[in-house]
């Protein structure tokens, strides 16, 4: 075995466990929120780090907060404010929409157990 | 030996890295807004261009149906309601005819607990638009008056494409039914395109055909009082799962919740049920049945399900007791940590 072979074997042996765990067991950074605005493709945002996002809709701007692995509508230019009063989303499959402003939040996981949530 | 090890490790590395990419590519997702909610279409194993073009057709279908079937925005159904209010005969627009006939049939089966002609009551509560009413209750006398007028599908006659009514308070509002009907149409559209494995999910109510590759589709059912999932089930073949809940559309006055599922007998939101989940083959029937069973409540859900030909029901009452029939119990898997207080009924035939 040459020196190059040994380096290659070492590299593979070190990489395999990482890939196995990463793809089959997931990790915290794989949790994400899908933000859909109107007809645009959904935007995927990880739930770390804490931040606020400003998303434009037909009525104006909705503010989405991501904090400690959760997400919520902070404000939205709709009349009823149902989206804001819905509070935090924290579980995979959780869903909130501001229908008047056509923005929805869906919590998902890279290895989600469900194909759809019934509610 | 060394070469063999390197080749094996390299192969494993390729499989580990490549497996996830294939998994991501198996399901095509598309989302759009229609019927005042988010519609999510998941297609398994479909070539992206076919998936995209089929989803656009489904979106157009939904938009057309929403425009034609809206009870309060200008359109065929609003025009029809205007004529019925004056006790004048009306010609039913072609796309509405099968919808109204089916709504009437299901209403009769439910003994009026699913009532598609209480549009005036729905409007009085303010649940007819996309925006929810804020902070005001309807006038009690107005509710009493509408309940006394007792609009029912028995007041309605459809001959060919002409509809007549002998009760001026009859006003169609298909909110408890149209979404299911539209989902059925979307499934037809998918099949026309040769797509056999899909879920059409409109605001949490869904119909699934085929399965997810080698396994069934996995569906989570939302907990009516907490965030997250209360139970799950696996479905394949052709199955609709519909849930009606008091958490979907509501407003609060002085700390009390008033939700959108109105009991036609009282004129007020049905107050003994938190959620009802129904499994059935077609989505339209599941949609109407979920509404009827919600109104029926813990005391009458079993007889109502029997009358409507529903074989799988889970009803969670406002005290948290889970009522279900044995066949439903055999399909439902409660989440770990859920303390399910189950009241098992007699079998549904």
Within 10 Å of residue A68's Cβ, how many Cβ atoms? 11
Q: Mean pLDDT, to the nearest integer, of B283-292?
A: 98
CB interface of A with B, residues 90-119, below 8 Å? 90-95, 97, 99-100, 102, 104, 113-119
pLDDT surpasses 70 at A24: no
Angle (CA) A33 B182 A105, round 5°: 10
List Cβ neighbours of B201 (8 Å cut-off, separation of 6 or more): A116, B39, B40, B41, B42
- What ipTM did this prediction achieve? 0.85
Mean pLDDT of chain B: 90
Q: Does A20 touch chain B (CB under 8 A)?
A: yes
Q: Does A8 touch chain B (CB under 8 A)?
A: yes
B-chain CB neighbours of A1 within 8 Å are 2
- pLDDT at residue B25, as a whole number: 53
pLDDT surpasses 60 at B23: no
Residue A40: pLDDT band with limits 50, 70, 90: confident
For each of the domains in chain B, give its residue range(s) and CATH number, in order of start.
72-165 (1.10.3980.10), 216-344 (3.10.520.10)
Comparing alpha-carbon positions, the chain A residue that sits nearest to B134 is: A80
Tokens at A79, concatenated: 């009349």
pLDDT surpasses 90 at A89: no
- pLDDT at residue A31, as a whole number: 65
CB interface of B with A, residues 140-169, below 8 Å? none
A-chain CB neighbours of B214 within 8 Å are none
Q: Mean pLDDT, to the nearest integer, of B235-248?
A: 94
B-chain CB neighbours of A89 within 8 Å are 227
Q: Mean pLDDT, to the nearest integer, of B172-201?
A: 95
Tokens at B234, concatenated: 């696996």
pLDDT surpasses 70 at A22: no
pLDDT surpasses 50 at A27: no
Least trusted range by pLDDT, from B13-22, B120-129, B189-198, B256-265: B13-22
B100 burial via Cβ count (<10 Å: 0-12, 13-18, 19+): buried
Which numeric CATH code is attached to A31-108?
A: 2.60.320.10
Q: Which residue has the tokens 């989902």?
A: B183
A34 bridge partner residues: A44, A106
Q: What single string gives the DSSP state of each residue in B314-342?
A: EEEETTS-EEE-HHHHHH-EEPTT----E
Q: Mean pLDDT, to the nearest integer, of B182-210?
A: 96
- pLDDT at residue B74, as a whole number: 87
Pick the closest to residue B147 from B262, B251, B246 (CA basis): B262
Is the Cβ pair B13, A19 closer than 8 Å? yes
- pLDDT above 90: percentage of residues in chain B: 73
Least trusted range by pLDDT, from B67-71, B192-196, B226-230: B226-230
Is the Cβ pair B217, A116 closer than 8 Å? yes
pLDDT surpasses 60 at B267: yes
Pick the closest to residue B43 from B241, B201, B278 (CA basis): B201
Q: Which ranges in A1-119 belong to alpha helices (H)?
A: 3-24, 82-85
Q: What single string gives the DSSP state of each residue in A37-69?
A: ETTSPPEEEES-S-EEEEEE-SSSEEEEEEETT
- pLDDT above 90: percentage of residues in chain A: 16
Residue B121: pLDDT band with limits 50, 70, 90: very high
Rounded Cα distance, B273 and B298, in Å: 7
Rounded Cα distance, B179 and B201, in Å: 10
- pLDDT above 70: percentage of residues in chain B: 91
Comparing alpha-carbon positions, the chain A residue that sits nearest to B290 is: A119
Residue A45: pLDDT band with limits 50, 70, 90: confident
Domain-wise residue ranges, chain A? 1-26, 31-108
List Cβ neighbours of B215 (8 Å cut-off, separation of 6 or more): B234
Least trusted range by pLDDT, from A115-119, B189-193, B330-334: A115-119
Q: Does A66 touch chain B (CB under 8 A)?
A: no
pLDDT tens sequence across A96-113:
888 889 898 888 775 567
Q: Does A82 touch chain B (CB under 8 A)?
A: yes
Rounded Cα distance, A16 and B14, in Å: 10
Is the Cβ pair A118, B206 closer than 8 Å? yes
Q: What is the 3-state secondary structure (H, E, C) of B173-220?
A: CCCCCHHHHHHHHHHHHHHHCCCCCEEEEECCEEEEEECECCECEEEE
- pLDDT at residue B132, as a whole number: 66
Is the Cβ pair A117, B204 closer than 8 Å? yes
B-chain CB neighbours of A97 within 8 Å are 37-38
Query: Which position has the higher pLDDT, B54 or A106?
Result: B54
- pLDDT at residue B17, as a whole number: 38
Residue B38: pLDDT band with limits 50, 70, 90: confident
Q: In what order do the strands lie in the sheet with A61-67?
A: A51-56, A61-67, A70-75
Residue B56: pLDDT band with limits 50, 70, 90: very high
Nearest CB neighbour to B229, from listed A1, A15, A91: A91
- pLDDT at residue B97, as a whole number: 96
Comparing alpha-carbon positions, the chain A residue that sits nearest to B17 is: A19
- Torsion angle defined by CA atoms of residues B314, B317, B321 and B326, in that order, rounded to the nearest 10 degrees: -20
Residue B194: pLDDT band with limits 50, 70, 90: very high
- pLDDT at residue B150, as a whole number: 98
Q: Does A46 touch chain B (CB under 8 A)?
A: no
Helix, strand, or coil (residue B143): helix
A-chain CB neighbours of B242 within 8 Å are 118
Rounded Cα distance, B299 and B326, in Å: 17
Calculate the CA A36 to chain-centre distance. Answer: 11
Comparing alpha-carbon positions, the chain B residue that sits nearest to A102 is: B33
Q: Mean pLDDT, to the nearest integer, of B317-328?
A: 97
Q: Does B232 touch chain A (CB under 8 A)?
A: yes
Q: In what order do the strands lie in the sheet with B229-235?
A: A116-118, B217-222, B229-235, B333-334
- pLDDT at residue A25, as a whole number: 36
pLDDT tens sequence across B150-160:
999 999 999 99
């Amino acid at each position: 075995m040459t020196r190059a072979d040994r380096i290659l074997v070492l590299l593979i042996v070190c990489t395999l466990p990482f890939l196995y765990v990463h793809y089959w067991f997931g990790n915290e950074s794989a949790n994400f929120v899908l933000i859909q605005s109107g007809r645009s493709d959904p935007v995927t945002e990880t739930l770390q780090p804490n931040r606020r996002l400003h998303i434009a809709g037909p009525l104006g701007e909705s503010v989405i907060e991501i904090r400690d692995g959760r997400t919520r509508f902070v404000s939205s230019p709709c009349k009823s404010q149902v989206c804001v009063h819905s509070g935090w989303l924290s579980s995979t499959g959780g869903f909130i929409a501001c229908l008047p402003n056509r923005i929805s939040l869906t919590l998902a996981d890279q290895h989600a157990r469900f194909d759809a949530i019934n509610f | 030996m060394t070469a063999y090890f390197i080749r094996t490790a390299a192969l494993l590395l390729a499989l580990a890295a490549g497996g996830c990419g294939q998994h991501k590519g198996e399901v095509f997702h598309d989302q759009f807004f229609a019927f005042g909610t988010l519609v999510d279409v998941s297609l398994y194993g479909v070539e992206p261009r076919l998936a995209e073009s089929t989803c656009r057709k489904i979106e157009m279908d939904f938009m057309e149906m929403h425009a034609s079937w809206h009870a309060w925005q200008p359109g065929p159904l609003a025009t029809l309601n205007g004529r019925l209010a004056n006790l004048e005969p009306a010609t039913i627009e072609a796309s509405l005819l099968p919808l109204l006939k089916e709504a009437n049939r299901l209403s009769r089966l439910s003994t009026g607990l699913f009532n598609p002609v209480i549009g005036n009551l729905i409007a009085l509560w303010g649940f007819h638009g996309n925006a929810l009413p804020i902070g005001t209750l309807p006038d009690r006398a107005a509710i009493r008056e509408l309940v006394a007028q007792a609009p029912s599908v028995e007041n309605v006659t459809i001959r060919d494409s002409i509809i007549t009514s002998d009760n001026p308070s009859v006003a169609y509002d298909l909110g408890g039914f149209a979404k299911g009907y539209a989902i059925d149409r979307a499934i037809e559209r998918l099949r026309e395109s040769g797509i056999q494995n899909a879920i059409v999910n409109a605001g949490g109510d869904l119909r699934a055909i085929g399965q997810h590759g080698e396994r069934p589709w996995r569906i989570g059912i939302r907990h009516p009082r907490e965030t997250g999932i209360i139970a799950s089930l696996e479905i394949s073949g052709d199955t609709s799962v519909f849930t009606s809940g008091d958490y979907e559309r509501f407003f609060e006055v002085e700390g009390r919740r008033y939700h959108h599922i109105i009991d036609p007998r009282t004129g007020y939101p049905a107050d003994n049920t938190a959620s009802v989940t129904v499994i059935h083959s077609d989505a339209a029937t599941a949609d109407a049945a979920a509404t009827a069973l919600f109104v029926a409540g813990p005391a009458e859900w079993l007889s109502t399900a029997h009358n409507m030909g529903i074989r799988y029901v889970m009803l969670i009452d406002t005290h948290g007791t889970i009522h279900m029939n044995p066949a439903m119990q055999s399909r439902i898997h409660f989440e770990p940590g859920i303390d399910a207080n189950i009241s098992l009924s007699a079998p549904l035939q």
